[in-house]
């Protein structure tokens, strides 16, 4: 019986003005127990000449690694990821933030799932927060879920006790099979602001084609979360508006008529942490008196979130009209 062909793995590294972290990211990829088939780095030469120099210097020191510079002229994470997607030649795309440092067996542990089962559409692992120079390793209380009609559970920075089937990932440390991702249309360019939920949209699109998504606690990367260069404010009214619009838009793309109405009711009455409805807004204000958490926005976030939900409805209508 013939052996299955060895799959090719493309690493997606979008970066902007973080040359020191980018250097560490690339050096960690060079130390992988299984070497990537290609590393694609998106760069803005006009805004980030230091990033270009960092990639050039790394390539000179590591001539055996296949490093591809993907030059951009427009801003945005979805623009960057889609440009890398267009240039990628592998079977699997591994999305890794420029401030994420893959541990030595990261790619080997990730690849084994794809090469064992052709119905695996995605694999991710914990993006372990580094606080004051030390890893903040915590156990997950639940798995990443999208529960009808719109509740989102996310424990992407935490370790599960075993490999689990999940519904979505966060982009700091995740991978997707490229054929179904391209069939889905890549990463959605209609999303607003900093494209909150772009990863979830891609995950749901791959899963709707019959593929399974796995979360493996051994697919580890250390996440040294750095300040954003553009779209840095995540918690002001405009960001809440954009987040709510994006979340509703992504949800409605996958629901029928009844599901869409159920989501709207849920979104306005309950909502989620980053874009609260009535319950999360009022409850967040109360909980915030006793529990300091940057995602507990309180009642002042309800208005921007509700307006964002209405924009998400309009976005979904336009998407359906233009399909």
Identify the pLDDT of residue 323. Answer: 86
Mean residue pLDDT of the chain comes to 93
The pLDDT value given to residue 149? 97
Domain that holds residue 194: 9-223
Note the pLDDT of residue 318.
97
User: Considering the domain boundaries, does residue 246 fall inside one?
Assistant: yes
Mean pLDDT of 211-227: 92
Mean pLDDT for the stretch of residues 171-179: 96
Look at residue 88 in the predicted model and tell me its pLDDT. 98
Rounded-to-integer distance, Cα 98 and Cα 23, Å: 9
Q: What is the pLDDT of residue 225?
A: 78
Check whether residue 42 and residue 159 sit in a common domain: yes
More confident of the two residues 274 and 1? 274
Contact 276, 302 (CB under 8 A): yes
CATH for 159? 3.90.550.10
What's the rounded Cα separation, in Å, for the pair 11 and 205?
Answer: 20
Specify whether 209 is located in the same domain as 96: yes
User: Does position 312 have pLDDT exceeding 90, yes or no?
Assistant: yes
Q: Output the pLDDT for position 245.
A: 98
**E strand or H helix that includes residue 153:** strand 151-153
Assess if residue 127 is contained within a domain.
yes
286 located within any domain: yes
Mean pLDDT score, 237-264: 96
Phi and psi at 13, nearest 5°, equal -130, 90
- Rounded to two decimals, the pTM is 0.94
pLDDT tens digits along 25-52: 999 999 999 999 999 999 999 999 999 9
Per-residue pLDDT band at 176 (split at 50, 70, 90):
very high
Q: Which of 223, 247, 275 is the last residue of a domain?
A: 223
pLDDT(252) > 60: yes
Tell me which of 158, 193, 223 is where a domain ends. 223
Quick: pLDDT tens for 105-138: 999 999 999 999 999 999 999 999 887 778 787 8
Q: Could you give the 3-state DSSP secondary structure of residue 222?
A: strand
């Amino acid at each position: 019986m013939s052996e299955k062909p060895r799959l090719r793995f493309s690493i997606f590294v979008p970066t902007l003005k973080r040359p020191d972290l980018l250097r560490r990211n690339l050096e960690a990829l060079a130390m992988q127990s299984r070497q990537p088939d290609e590393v694609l780095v998106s760069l803005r030469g006009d805004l980030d000449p230091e990033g270009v120099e960092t990639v050039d210097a790394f390539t000179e020191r590591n001539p055996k690694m296949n490093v591809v510079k993907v030059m951009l002229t427009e801003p945005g994470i979805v623009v960057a990821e889609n440009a890398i997607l267009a240039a990628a030649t592998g079977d699997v795309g591994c999305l890794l933030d420029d401030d994420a440092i893959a541990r030595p067996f990261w790619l080997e542990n990730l690849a084994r799932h794809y090469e064992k089962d052709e119905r695996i559409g995605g694999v991710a692992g914990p993006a372990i927060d580094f606080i004051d120079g030390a890893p903040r390793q915590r156990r997950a209380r639940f798995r990443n879920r999208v529960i009808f009609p719109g509740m989102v559970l996310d424990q992407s920075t935490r370790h599960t006790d075993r490999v689990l089937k999940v519904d979505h990932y966060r982009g700091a440390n995740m991978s997707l099979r490229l054929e179904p991702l391209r069939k889905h249309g890549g990463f959605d360019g209609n999303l607003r602001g900093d494209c909150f939920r772009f990863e979830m949209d891609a995950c749901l699109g791959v899963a709707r084609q019959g593929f399974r998504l796995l979360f493996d606690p051994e697919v580890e990367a250390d996440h040294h979360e750095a300040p954003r260069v553009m779209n840095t404010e995540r918690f002001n009214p405009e960001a809440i508006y954009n987040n709510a619009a994006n979340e509703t838009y992504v949800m409605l793309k996958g629901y029928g008529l009844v599901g869409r109405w159920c989501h709207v009711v849920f979104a306005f009455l309950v909502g989620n942490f980053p874009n609260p409805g009535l319950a999360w807004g009022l409850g967040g204000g109360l909980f915030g008196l006793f529990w300091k958490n940057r995602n507990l926005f309180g009642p002042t976030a309800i208005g921007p979130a509700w307006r964002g939900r209405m924009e998400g409805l309009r976005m979904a209508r336009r998407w359906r009209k233009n399909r």
